[in-house]
A and B are shown apart, each in its own frame.
Chain A
Amino acid sequence: MQDRNMDKALEIFSALITGDEISARNKDTASLYDEYSNNAEVYDIVYSMCKKMNLMLYEYKNTIYVSPGDNNRVFGYSNEELKRIIGVRLNRELYLCYFVIYSVMTRFYSDTSNPTFTEYVKCDDIVNAVDSMLADTLKSINLLNLDEIEDNSFQAISATWEDLPLVISEEGMSRASRGSKTGFVKMVFNFMEKQSLLVENEGRYYPSQRMRALIENYYEENKGRLYEIMKGVSEDAAY
């Protein structure tokens, strides 16, 4: 193994784990991308380092992206950290954030191989989408005592969503906050923007290349494991 190749591989790896993108289009990282795609030894070292660190590497439209996966204690975020970053307090609020992100994903992709050709989403679109996705669960809440709702259930996040007014005031419509549906979605949009998943332009949120890269690659690869997790949950629910 040549020292030079090792150096390049480490350079790529450190750029990736500090959140930089390695892209052929970016003049600062083009040479690194070139090394990664044309030098087999560099590729092997980067790939194997990522694998050992439980990181997933994806190449999409001449750019390399890295994902910590869903159970990475070193490089991933814990729920507590996420609550602090997004700006929510309760677990049910955090899961509502996850649900909002999920509904954003489904606006752009019905499944991983079929992008929906939706170019962008607006805050209102997502408020309506969450409303309709939670519609059935919301119906069942009316029949239940709110104290009986389990913390990690859909009813819990539906109740949290339902309790939010659409907007607090006309002036505060565009403000991100936990106090209203629009504010909540805006808060999640801000977080997604920080995570380089969405790009904002005049209130329109476009999916980033990073988001597309991860959606089109990660879930297909991990399909079996995700359904296993789902199966585990359903078995727990049965007992």
Chain B
Amino acid sequence: MSEEYVLTRDIIYDHNERMLNIKKYYPFFKLSEISFRQYREGKYDNLDMGYILMAVLRFFIEKNNFNEESVTYESYEKFMSELLRRDFDIRTDKEEEKEIISFIFDKIKNDGKPFVYSYFNPVDKKRQSVRTRIIDSKIVDGTVSYTISADAVEFYLDTKEIKDESDITIDQVLLAKLIASKNFRGGTEVVRRINSEVGKLIARKNEVLNILSYDVFQGVKAYEEFNRTGIRWFEEEQKLFVKNKELISQALKQGESENNYYSAMEDIYQLEQELNRAITRHGRLLRECTDLQVKADDIIARAKLGRLRTSFDFRDFLKNMINNNSVLPLQNIVKPLFGIGIHKSFSLGSVDNMLTFKPDGNETGEKISSEEEEQYVYPDELEEERIKSNYGIFMESLFAKIISDKSFTLGEWVRELNDKTGYDVMKNADFYSFIVHLCQKKEYNLIQSVNRPDTFLEEIIKEHYMIEEERQLEMHEEVPELPDIVFSITSVTGSDEVIEKEGVACIANLRIESIE
């Protein structure tokens, strides 16, 4: 029984309110039915009245509410002219253009009459009509100016959630309209909407902060978006709040002085209270946003620095642990956080060991055995020894040849060396370095070289002879005198110019001559 009652009540008693609510849509559908097919033989058939109406509404909101100025017919005409050219490619002469713009204006103004929408009122059981306008006109300083109506603003805002702009700003614009048209109850509803929008923004601020804390890059994007749709409009919103508050206090004053206004006083008070609440919440939002701004800057600065300094990435470490499927490193991570464990406990086994432990009667000292230090011979020392020994062989052979032959070529000496040693000296790397050292001087005096060595080779010659001398002294042998050898080195020209060893080397031939 009660359900049936509720159903009937809903149908009958709420109908009036529903119809009042949808009246704001009525002019749009009425106007969008208008066809330009009959106008000027269908020349402007492509014009779409629905689109034109929405554009005009936006233009009026911009002028009336954002810039707080009235629209004159001239400014409307200018706007329409641009629109027709831009969106419908209409290129026609001035007169005809003016005519079509005026035709459209009359249609939007419904030829100066309100749009009348009639419906059946089931409570009174009779037809009832509601009137609405899109554009109001008034005369200021002798000129007619136009303003958008509250219904039209509400209709325009209802058609789309305007993401680029703050909803609070839009709602405030609407609120101003509603107060101006003395619809205080509607105004209260709008302020409640503003309150819920402020709540949403506070929640969004926390979300942005959360994203920032996890992922700076995503967070910065969210923060910029929040700035664009939220924070950017603060100043505007604050101004509008002040303006609306002013409007309400004016309405209150007017209400107190005029008796006919008395019935609306309760609504005005309620609206004022709601608006005060909205202003407080809006102030809180402002503080929250300032806090967000500070924290966001801090997070971004830290993230920038963090990129430069080394840090330990917990998420990355966890990922590695999961990939290795081992929880063991967890203890290495977690245990350092714990405090100092000063209360010690022992396992029963350890306690048992401690109780049954029998220390030795006497402590035995550790024996230390003496070890001789080993002599190390490094690879470079071995190399040096080999070079010196090879150079000794070459020198002795060279000096013997100089004494016996007086003059010979490098080629001849090489052949003799090969025969004597039984090895191919051209395959010995030390032989080449010996020749290079030998060619550093053009003349050698052996006695002088040993007494005053100039070159690296002369040092080796001296060292070689001194070692030889020491050896012979040790062996108690007679130390022979240093042979008085003076020789020159010149290069050989002609067919013997080069000594070649196939696949090994090719060196310039030299002539070694004894100087008397």
Given the known A-B contacts A69-B336, A76-B341, A233-B326, are A111 and B214 also in contact in the complex, defined by CB atoms under 8 Å? Answer: no
Across-interface contacts of A116 in B (CB, < 8 A):
213-214
**Binary contact track B309-342/A, C-beta < 8 Å → 1, others 0:** 1111111111011111111111111111111111
Whether B42 sits at the interface, judged by CB under 8 Å, is: no
Which among B320, B333, B340 is the interface contact of A75 at CB below 8 angstroms? B340
C-alpha spacing A17/B340, complex, angstroms: 6
C-alpha spacing A69/B338, complex, angstroms: 9
Across-interface contacts of A99 in B (CB, < 8 A):
327, 330
C-alpha spacing A68/B340, complex, angstroms: 6
Across-interface contacts of A153 in B (CB, < 8 A):
325-327
> Residue on A with the closest CB to B347?
A80
Q: Which of A62-108 contact B (CB under 8 A)?
A: 66-71, 75-77, 79-82, 84, 95, 98-99, 101-102, 105-106
Across-interface contacts of B338 in A (CB, < 8 A):
67-68, 76-77, 82, 195
Whether A176 sits at the interface, judged by CB under 8 Å, is: no
Whether A126 sits at the interface, judged by CB under 8 Å, is: no
Q: Which of A213-236 contact B (CB under 8 A)?
A: 214-215, 218-220, 222-223, 226-227, 229-230, 233-234, 236
Whether A142 sits at the interface, judged by CB under 8 Å, is: no
> Residue on A with the closest CB to B335?
A70
* B327→A154 contact, CB < 8 A: yes
Majority secondary structure of chain A interface residues (helix, strand, loop or mixed): helix
**Binary contact track A152-188/B, C-beta < 8 Å → 1, others 0:** 1111110000000000000000000000000000000
* A157→B340 contact, CB < 8 A: no
> Residue on A with the closest CB to B311?
A113
Segment from B1-9, B57-65, B300-308 that makes contact with A: B300-308
Given the known A-B contacts A106-B314, A111-B313, A111-B314, are A152 and B337 also in contact in the complex, defined by CB atoms under 8 Å? Answer: no
Across-interface contacts of A67 in B (CB, < 8 A):
336-338
Across-interface contacts of B31 in A (CB, < 8 A):
none
**Binary contact track A96-131/B, C-beta < 8 Å → 1, others 0:** 001101100110011111111110000000000000
Name the distance in Å between B420's Cβ and chain A's nearest Cβ.
61
Whether A136 sits at the interface, judged by CB under 8 Å, is: yes
Name the distance in Å between A1's Cβ and chain B's nearest Cβ.
26
Q: Which of B171-224 contact A (CB under 8 A)?
A: 209, 212-214
Which among B317, B326, B337 is the interface contact of A101 at CB below 8 angstroms? B337
C-alpha spacing A98/B333, complex, angstroms: 9
C-alpha spacing A215/B311, complex, angstroms: 11
Whether B90 sits at the interface, judged by CB under 8 Å, is: no
Whether B345 sits at the interface, judged by CB under 8 Å, is: yes
* A76→B335 contact, CB < 8 A: yes
> Residue on B with the closest CB to A18?
B342
Whether A48 sits at the interface, judged by CB under 8 Å, is: no
Which among B313, B328, B339, B345 is the interface contact of A195 at CB below 8 angstroms? B339
* A70→B332 contact, CB < 8 A: yes
Across-interface contacts of B327 in A (CB, < 8 A):
95, 98-99, 152-154, 156-157
C-alpha spacing A165/B313, complex, angstroms: 31
Given the known A-B contacts A95-B327, A154-B322, A233-B329, are A117 and B213 also in contact in the complex, defined by CB atoms under 8 Å? Answer: yes
Given the known A-B contacts A76-B335, A117-B209, A219-B312, are A98 and B330 also in contact in the complex, defined by CB atoms under 8 Å? Answer: yes
C-alpha spacing A226/B305, complex, angstroms: 23
* B342→A110 contact, CB < 8 A: no
Whether B406 sits at the interface, judged by CB under 8 Å, is: no
* B305→A77 contact, CB < 8 A: no
C-alpha spacing A233/B377, complex, angstroms: 42
Whether A19 sits at the interface, judged by CB under 8 Å, is: yes
* A226→B332 contact, CB < 8 A: yes
C-alpha spacing A28/B18, complex, angstroms: 73
Name the distance in Å between B186's Cβ and chain A's nearest Cβ.
41
* B302→A237 contact, CB < 8 A: no
* B315→A110 contact, CB < 8 A: yes
User: Closest 8 CB pairs between A and B?
Assistant: A219-B312, A113-B311, A116-B213, A98-B330, A113-B306, A111-B313, A77-B341, A117-B213
A-B contact pairs, 30 of them (CB 8 A): A16-B340, A17-B342, A18-B342, A19-B339, A68-B340, A70-B333, A70-B335, A76-B335, A76-B341, A77-B341, A81-B345, A82-B338, A84-B345, A102-B333, A105-B314, A106-B315, A106-B318, A110-B214, A112-B311, A112-B312, A115-B302, A136-B322, A137-B322, A153-B326, A153-B327, A219-B333, A226-B332, A226-B333, A237-B324, A237-B326
Other contacts beyond A81-B341, A113-B305, A114-B306: 17, CB < 8 A: A17-B342, A67-B337, A70-B335, A75-B341, A77-B335, A80-B345, A95-B327, A98-B333, A106-B315, A106-B318, A110-B315, A153-B325, A154-B322, A211-B337, A214-B337, A230-B317, A237-B326
Give residues in B with beta carbon < 8 Å to A: 209, 212-214, 295, 299, 302-303, 305-306, 309-318, 320-342, 345, 347
